[in-house]
Structure 1
Amino acid sequence: MVALSEQRDEILGRKKATEQKSEPAASKSTQRIVEKEKEKEVVNDYLWAQELRRRMRLYKKNLSVEQVEGALRDLELERRSKKEELATTSAKKVEQARTLDQFTVMAGALERAEHRREKRKEDQSILQKRLVQDRERANKLAEGQSRLPPRPERSNATLAIGRERSTTRENRLNLIEDLLDE
C-alpha cells in the first residue's frame, strides 16, 4: 500500500513538473483544481486495478477462460468509459477555473482603469480650481501693486546681517554636532 502511494506521489510529482513548465500563468486555485483532478484520476486507476484483481479471483473460481476474458474486456470498456467521463468533467472544471481566472483578471483591470479615470477627473478638477485661484490672486496682486508705493530695496547692511545670522546658525549646529560626536 505504501509503495502504491509512493508511486502515486511520484506520478503526480512528474505531472506537476511537466504542468509547471507548460502552464506557468495559471492561478493557484486553478492549479489546485488541476492537481485534485489528477489525483482523482490516479486514485480511480488504482481502484479499478483493485476491482480488476477482485473480479479476476471470482472469475477464476467459477468461469471458463473465454468467460473470464469476456468479463475482463467488459470491465476494461467500462473503465475506459468512466475514465473518459472523468477526463471530460475534469477538463470542464479546469476550463471553468481558467475562464474564472480570466474574468477576475479582466474585472480587476477594468476596476483599475475606472479608478484611474476617476482619479484623473478629480486631479483635473483640483488643477482647474487652483488655476482659477491663481488667476484671482494674480489679479488681486496686480491691483494691489498698482495702489501701493514701490517696496524699498534692501540695503547692503540688512543683507549682511542676514548672512551673519545664517553663518552663526551654521556655527552653532557644527558645535552641537562636535559635542555629540565626543
Structure 2
Amino acid sequence: MKTTLPFMLLVISVLGCNKFGPDTSSTSNSNSSNSSYTATAKIAKVVDLPATIGKSRDEIKKMINGTPKSEDPWLEYSLPEAELTFRFDKGKASHATFNFKAVSVGGSTVSGTDTAEQLGTMAGVDIKGKSPTSTGGLADTYEVEIGGKKAQASFYHPGGNFNMVMIQPN
C-alpha cells in the first residue's frame, strides 16, 4: 500500500493535468502545424513594379488589377497585399513604391518580409545574387536595370522586417 499510493497519486496528477490544464498536446500540434505552414509558404509576385516606370497613368491603370484609391497628386492603389504609389514627371511614372500591408496570421501580425529578396519577389524587383550598393539602419539600396537604364531600388527595413521598396531611375 505504501508504494501503490504514491504511484496512484502520480498517475492521477498526470491525468488530471492533461484533463484540466491547458491542452498542451493541441498547442504543440498547432504550433508545429503553424511552423510547417510558414516553412511551406511561398512568396508570390503581386505586381511588376519596374515595368511601371516610364508608363503613363492610363498604362499603369491597365497593368494594375484594381481601382485607384487616389489619382491626385499621385496614383495610389490599396491591394490586399500592399499599398502602391506612383509619382509622375512629365506624364510618366518616375517613382514607384510598394508598401507591404500587415496581415494577421494565427495570433500574430506579419508586418514585412525577412529578406529584401522576398519583398523584391512580391514587387517584381529582381535582386537575386546582388549585394546592396549602400546599407543603412533604415534601408538597403540596390542598383537595378529598368528598360536598359540604371535605377535604384531602396528596400526599407525599420524594426528589422523589409516592408517597403521604392524604385526610381538614376
Could you say whether these structures have the same fold, taking a TM-score greater than 0.5 normalized by the shorter chain as the test?
no
TM-score (norm 2): 0.23
Q: Which has the higher strand share?
A: 2
Q: Which has the higher helix share?
A: 1
Relative contact order: is structure 1 or structure 2 higher (C-alpha 8 Å, sep ≥ 6)? 1
* Structure of larger gyration radius: 1
